[in-house]
Structure 1
Amino acid sequence: MKNALITGATKGMGRAIAFAFAKQGLNLAICSRNIKELEQIKAELLNINQQISVIVVEADASKKDQLLNFAATAEQQLGSIDVIVNNVGIYHPTSITDDDEDTFDLLMNANLRPAYELYRYFGKKMAAAKQGHIFNICSIAAINPVTNAGTYTVTKAATLSLSNIMRLEMQQYGVKVTSVIPGSTLTASWDGVEVDANTMVLPTDIASAVINIYNMSAGANVNEIVITPVFGQL
């Protein structure tokens, strides 16, 4: 069995991807900041596939020590990690000039640092094994800047750049790296806002794309995939 690690897996895209991989028969290591939500999703995942192992760790992925403890726990309990989904992130709808004093550090630590630290932790191990697949959940903001979410845009652009570097460093070892670039997606970021689900990308759409990319032949890699609402951004 292959082993997948997903950050921020109790909601939105991370949750949908976790269920998609469970149906594929992958063991899962998932984290979030809420242990009750983790235990709930663990039960749901095992309900759809009792053959897999699901490891849950309460962790704030924006904090390096907690993130690396999650990585080490996953490795200890499952063995080598074959798939990493860097999903965790925070959307912050302000212009840079209206940011709070801690906004930059908050968003860099939540949106960029987890992918960077997990790559440093697992990258050489995947290279040595000559296999693995890393999915970095970026944002359309990385390509088309959003002025009312300035620092968020910067961190997602940095994540896309990091993803490109990962792919170039890993390609000689046969390790795949894919940047997933969603437009307006119906996740918790939209809580409290009245929206029409039929005009948005759904988390299951992202999960479907990830699974299809993962199932491609060993010699094929999708460098990046952009998925946007058919009627345009909200």
Structure 2
Amino acid sequence: MPNAIVTGATHGIGKAIAEKLLANGYNVAICARTTADVESCKVKWQSEYAGANILAETVDLSDKQQVHSFAASVIAAFNEIDLLVNNAGLFYTGLIKDEPCGQLERMMGVNLYSAYYLSRAVIPVMTGEDNAHIVNICSVAGLEPHLNSGSYSITKYAMMGLSENLRLELKDSGIKVTTICPGYTYSRSWEGTGVDTSRLIKAEDVAEMVWTTINLSANTIAETIVMRPAKGNL
């Protein structure tokens, strides 16, 4: 069975991706910062996907040592990794000029550095012979400035840079790097906001996009994929 890592996988896009992979015969390692959510997903999935090896850990991805510890646990359990999905993200609103000191650093820790450190740890045990893949879940905020979420946008621009440089470095190794940039996507955070959630991208659609791109032939790579609500931005 192929082996995958999905970060931030207890809700939203990450959970949808993990479930898509499990349903298609993957062993999956997940992490998130809330123990109750991690345990809930693990119990549910062990019941639904009895043949899969599921590793689930509570990890603060802004802490480099915890990222390294998680990577070591996954490698010890799986030996080789076929797919890494860097999905975890932290989002704060606000104008750059007004936001609290340290807000950018907190988002950078999760949105960029976790992907950087986890990718570095996992790449040595990925093999291009089996069409190995790194998928970075970015955002349209990494392609264009966003009012009232400027620092978040900065972290996503940086994630785009990480993806493009890894793609360049790894292209001859057979490891593909794809960046998926969703627009407004449904998650728990939209509940009670008054937004018409029927207009939002479904997390399951992002998971389908991941599945499609990792199943392209070895000759083809989807480099950057942009997804937006069909009826336009809110």
TM-score by length of 1: 0.95
Q: Which residue of 1 aligns with 2:193?
A: 193
Residues 11-68 of structure 1 deviation map (CA, whole Å, 9 limit, x = unaligned)? 1100000000001110011011122211211122223321111001111111111111
Structure 1 residue ranges, 4+ long, deviating more than 4 angstroms after superposition: 127-131
Distance in 2, Cα, partners of 1:130 & 1:202: 29
Q: Do 2:82 and 2:130's aligned partners in 1 also have CA atoms closer than 8 Å?
A: no
Q: Which residue of 1 aligns with 2:30?
A: 30
Distance in 1, Cα, partners of 2:113 & 2:189: 20
Distance in 1, Cα, partners of 2:127 & 2:10: 29
Residues 188-214 of structure 1 deviation map (CA, whole Å, 9 limit, x = unaligned)? 343442222221101101001101111
Q: Which residue of 1 aligns with 2:113?
A: 113
Residue type at the aligned position of 1:174: G
SS at structure 2 position matched to 1:55: strand
Q: Which residue of 2 aligns with 1:63?
A: 63
Structure 2 gap ranges (5+): none
Residue type at the aligned position of 1:72: A
Q: Which residue of 2 aligns with 1:233?
A: 233
Q: Do 1:130 and 1:173's aligned partners in 2 also have CA atoms closer than 8 Å?
A: no
Q: Which residue of 1 aligns with 2:5?
A: 5
For residues 1-234 of structure 1, what are the structure 2 equivalents within 5 Å? 1-126=1-126, 131-234=131-234
- Structure 1, 185-194 or 125-134: larger mean CA deviation: 125-134
- Structure 1, 182-191 or 80-89: larger mean CA deviation: 182-191
Distance in 2, Cα, partners of 1:211 & 1:220: 14
Residue type at the aligned position of 2:180: V
SS at structure 1 position matched to 2:222: coil
Structure 1 gap ranges (5+): none
SS at structure 2 position matched to 1:98: coil
Alpha carbons of structure 1 residues 128 and 181: separation in structure 2 relative to 1, 3 Å = closer
Q: State the Cα RMSD in Å.
A: 1.5
State the aligned residue count: 234
Residue type at the aligned position of 2:104: F
Q: Do 1:131 and 1:173's aligned partners in 2 also have CA atoms closer than 8 Å?
A: no
Q: Do 1:16 and 1:203's aligned partners in 2 also have CA atoms closer than 8 Å?
A: yes
- Structure 1, 74-83 or 7-16: larger mean CA deviation: 74-83
Distance in 1, Cα, partners of 2:126 & 2:42: 26
Displacement after TM superposition at 1:131 (Å) = 4.5
TM-score by length of 2: 0.95
